[in-house]
Amino acid sequence: MSIKIENFTIHEAARLLEEKKISSTELCKAYIERAKKLEPKVKAFLKLDEEDVLSQAKASDDRRAENRKLGQFDGIPLAVKDNITVKGQTCTCASKILQKVVSPYDATVIRKLKANGFVLFGRTNMDEFAMGSSCENSAYQKTANPWNINCVPGGSSGGSAASVSAAEVTAALGSDTGGSIRQPASFCGVVGFKPTYGRISRYGLIAFASSLDQIGPITRDVEDAAILTDVMCGRDSRDATSLPDTNEIFSEDLGGLKDLKGIRIGLPKECFEIEGLDAGVRKSMEKSIQVFKDLGAEMVQVSLPHSKYAVATYYVIATAEASANLARFDGIRYGNRMKADDLLETYLETRGAGFGDEVKRRIILGTFVLSSGYYDAYYTKGQKVRTLIRRDFQDAYRKCDVILTPVSPTTAFKFGEKSDPLQMYLADIFTISTNLAGICGISVPADIHENGLPVGIQLLGPDMGEKQLLRISHIFEKNRAIKEFIPGI
């Protein structure tokens, strides 16, 4: 049968597979054909092995035929950001330093997805080591925004967002350290969900900043985000920071809310005072607020007084952790090793040649803030401000159920437009404090800007507040003015 692949979801695919109206092979072939057509322009994938995908699809079809399918999502293709390990595959983090390193193990999320029969559909491009907001920092290629190929897809999970937006795959995995799922999702008109820190095991996610990183789904709709979170979340005996299991099923009764009566939506007053908040983005925010009001939600003003310090705090904490996390990439045990006269030179040359500029910038910043004589002034201070940022949220959630903000001050920008690193950092102002606080947040497409690019809204829930956050996001999605976000590519 022919399917409307441009807007196809996991839950629709699951239904059609169940009704035997489609096979996994047909589904995967359709995506491969589309990817073949679009990839020369989008360049979302670092690796897409047609043969491997089709053999996984065939295995899934065989399981279904023999009545041993691995759950209702068996056979549905999913792209994986290239910083999550899959046994037997390279996992480059879009860095030259990991170009040929084959992972000897599966990340916990990959193990779970495999156990549920998902077809692993290629590896998506990203900013090198997830450091960036535009995907321009990949050592291999620049991914384009399917809505306008002169624009960036956002980052760091830009390849994942672009691949889903362009419907080269049903859904994708991303990782979010300071907005790396939500911002590209917003730029590409798809849903991006960062669960509460610790909900999904980080084991197998190549760390950028361990206390901030979280894996999450990038999908066409909220329901798919809930489905993938259900599959991936849970306590992991390999991640000591993973949270205990709750018995919630996020995808169950997701559309249960008929309206938002009794729901309080917090609007941080600081959000609208941000310098550089694009007028169109502001307008889309206002339209979205109206949608919530029409649904009966109570809009309350909240304050996040320390949010203006979030970017500075983030760049201290994230880079400090990154400087240690990336120390292991030295060409000793794995990876490219530069020939040099002695051990010290080997380290210097290997790391000097293996890392891109942004990665070096952050390693240097992180090394500096931890170095003798500066630790207290920068790192300890950053951790203390982090406490204040967490408290801001705790205070705010006494007054509201979820918080509504823009995702980014602008829509997707043009390649090369933000050449100043600090300007690039400052654009993460709305997403970054979520990671510092550890709470959950989602980016949902809300509007189309007059420049033709999508605009998302961000909804933030408290710690472990996924269930309600997803239900509120879902009802918003059903009631927003624009029903479908399909790029013209």
Partner 1 sequence: MSKYDIVIGLEVHVQARTNSKMFCSCPNKFGQEPNTMVCPVCMGFPGVMPYPNREAVMKTVMAGLMCGCEIAKFSKFDRKSYFYPDMPKNYQITQYDLPLCGRGGVHIFGKGFSGNDLPDKVIGITRIHLEEDVGKLNHFSGYSGIDYNRAGVPLMEIVSEPDMCSADEAYAYLTALKQIMQYADISDCDMEKGQMRCDVNISLKLAGAKEFGTKIEIKNLNSFRSAHRSIEHEIVRQAEILDNGGRLMQETRGWTDERGETYLLRSKENAHDYRYFPEPDLLPMTFTDSEIGKIKNTLPELPEQKRARFVATLGLTEYDAQVLTQDKTLSDYFDEGAKQAKSPKMLANWIITELLRELNDRNIPFEKNPVPVGHLVELVELVSAGTITGKSAKEVFSELFSGGKTPKQIVAEKGLLQISDDSAIDKFVVLSIEQNPAQVKQYKEGKTTVIQFFVGQVMKLSKGKANPQIVNKLLKEKLDQM
Partner 2 sequence: MEKRIIDVKYVAALARLELDSEKEERLQKEMETILNYVDTLSELDVSNIEPTAHAVQMTNVLRDDVSEPPFQREEMLSNAPETVGGELIKVPAVIPGEEEN
Residues known to be catalytic: 81, 156, 180
Among 316, 318, 402, 432, binds partner 2 (CB under 8 A): 316
The residue written with tokens 């931890």 in the block is 370
Whether 437 and 389 have beta carbons less than 8 Å apart is answered as yes
Among 264, 334, 417, 451, binds partner 2 (CB under 8 A): 334
- Which DSSP string do the residues of 136-187 spell out, in sequence order? TT-SS-PPPBTTBTTB---SSSHHHHHHHHTTSSSEEEEEESSSTTHHHHHH
Which residues, at least 6 apart from 258, have a Cβ–Cβ distance to it below 8 Å?
A: none
The residue among 151, 228, 226 whose CA lies nearest residue 183 is: 151
197 near partner 2, rule: CB under 8 A? yes
Whether 128 and 356 have beta carbons less than 8 Å apart is answered as yes
Among 342, 373, 398, 488, binds partner 2 (CB under 8 A): 342
Q: Which does 203 bind (CB under 5 to 8 A by kind): partner 2, partner 1, none?
A: partner 1
Q: How far apart are CA 45 and CA 34, in angstroms?
A: 13
The residue among 356, 321, 82 whose CA lies nearest residue 204 is: 82
Task: Mark the segment that binds partner 2 (CB under 8 A) among 34-42, 225-233, 287-295, 417-425.
Answer: 417-425
The DSSP call for residue 243 is P
Q: Binding pattern to partner 2, positions 358-397, x when CB under 8 A?
A: --xx-xxx-xx--x------x-xxxxxxxxx-x-------
Q: Which does 342 bind (CB under 5 to 8 A by kind): partner 1, partner 2, none?
A: partner 2
Whether 128 and 158 have beta carbons less than 8 Å apart is answered as no
Q: Which does 204 bind (CB under 5 to 8 A by kind): partner 1, partner 2, none?
A: partner 1
Which residues, at least 6 apart from 453, have a Cβ–Cβ distance to it below 8 Å?
A: 145, 147, 148, 151, 187, 411, 412
Q: Which element (helix H / strand E) includes 350?
A: helix 343-354
Q: How many residues bind partner 2 (CB under 8 A)?
A: 71
Looking at the Cβ atoms of 380 and 394, the one nearer to partner 1 is 380
Q: Which element (helix H / strand E) includes 215?
A: strand 214-219
Q: Which does 388 bind (CB under 5 to 8 A by kind): partner 2, partner 1, none?
A: partner 2
Task: Mark the segment that binds partner 2 (CB under 8 A) among 182-190, 220-228, 278-286, 351-359.
Answer: 351-359
Residues paired with 391 in a beta bridge: none
Whether 418 and 424 have beta carbons less than 8 Å apart is answered as yes
Looking at the Cβ atoms of 30 and 340, the one nearer to partner 2 is 340
Interaction site with partner 1 (CB under 8 A): 83-85, 91, 93, 98, 101, 103-105, 107, 202-207, 209-211, 237-241, 320-321, 323-324, 327-330, 332-334, 343, 347, 367, 370-372, 375, 379
Looking at the Cβ atoms of 312 and 324, the one nearer to partner 1 is 324
The residue written with tokens 């790396």 in the block is 180
171 near partner 2, rule: CB under 8 A? no
Q: Which does 12 bind (CB under 5 to 8 A by kind): partner 2, partner 1, none?
A: none
The residue written with tokens 């989008």 in the block is 42
Among 341, 373, 398, 488, binds partner 2 (CB under 8 A): 341
465 near partner 2, rule: CB under 8 A? no
468 near partner 2, rule: CB under 8 A? no
Q: Which does 357 bind (CB under 5 to 8 A by kind): partner 1, partner 2, none?
A: partner 2
